[in-house]
Amino acid sequence: MRDQIIQQIKENKIIVIVRGIYGIDREKLIEALWKGGIRLVEFTFDQKSPEKWEETCCNISETVARYGGKFLCGAGTVMTLEQLKMAKTAGANYIISPDMNPQVIQETVKLGMVSIPGAFSATEIAEAAKNGADYVKVFPAVSLGPEYLKALKGPLNYIPLMVVGGISYKNIDAYMEAGAAGAGIGGEIANKKWVESGEFEKITEAARLTIEKLHGGTHE
């Protein structure tokens, strides 16, 4: 199962990050993402609002129930073993974190999910891989740009790196050319203002543009 999840991430490359969107708005958002060609989504835990964690898990379980294996769901901003276990119970396929926590990485793999911890330096990235990470999320990627990623890929070319933070259809091709294995994209696609105003067609179009650019398109 882990191998299948890794393969789907490898093929689809783009994980859309969904923050603070629940219920019917989340349902409409996921439908818009689906129409736009997105097949990987991350529902994040709000560390400041533990009362929302169950809703995050509902986002995962309800999306899994509706789309099954056609739409792979992950849990994001997972920083504790408690959150990890909640995500597993909800049906998450992969675990994404902003930090590099060896316990979370090891337990994720043990539970049969794909591990994508966050790191920034070469030391952190290598340590994440040593602890069993399947991918390492370079975050925040936009701070130092594609050249930083390209420099990391020199000595660390054996570690699949995903880029998160400031990625959009406008720059995703530069990061992929620099060696990124994939990207996490939040508000550039899952824009809360568009959700609140019911402009779901904009979400679908942003998803399509991003995928097109990923595959060599030239839209601006």
- Give pLDDT tens digits for 139-170: 999 998 999 999 999 999 999 999 999 999 99
pLDDT value at position 27?
97
In tens, the pLDDT along 173-193 reads 999 999 999 999 999 999 999
The catalytically annotated residue of 13, 88, 137, 213 is 137
Inter-residue contact 21 to 29 (CB < 8 Å): yes
Domain boundaries, the chain: 2-214
Catalytic site residue from 42, 62, 107, 188: 42
Copy the structure tokens of residue 163: 């880029």
- Is 42 catalytic? The answer is yes
Q: Identify the pLDDT of residue 25.
A: 98
Q: In what order do the strands lie in the sheet with 114-116?
A: 114-116, 94-96, 72-76, 40-44, 14-18, 182-185, 161-164, 136-138, 118-119
Homologous superfamily of the 2-214 domain (CATH): Aldolase class I (3.20.20.70)
List of the chain residues with pLDDT < 70: 217-220
Taking CA atoms, 43 is separated from 20, 100, 171, 216, in Å, by 8, 19, 23, 28
pLDDT at position 106: 98
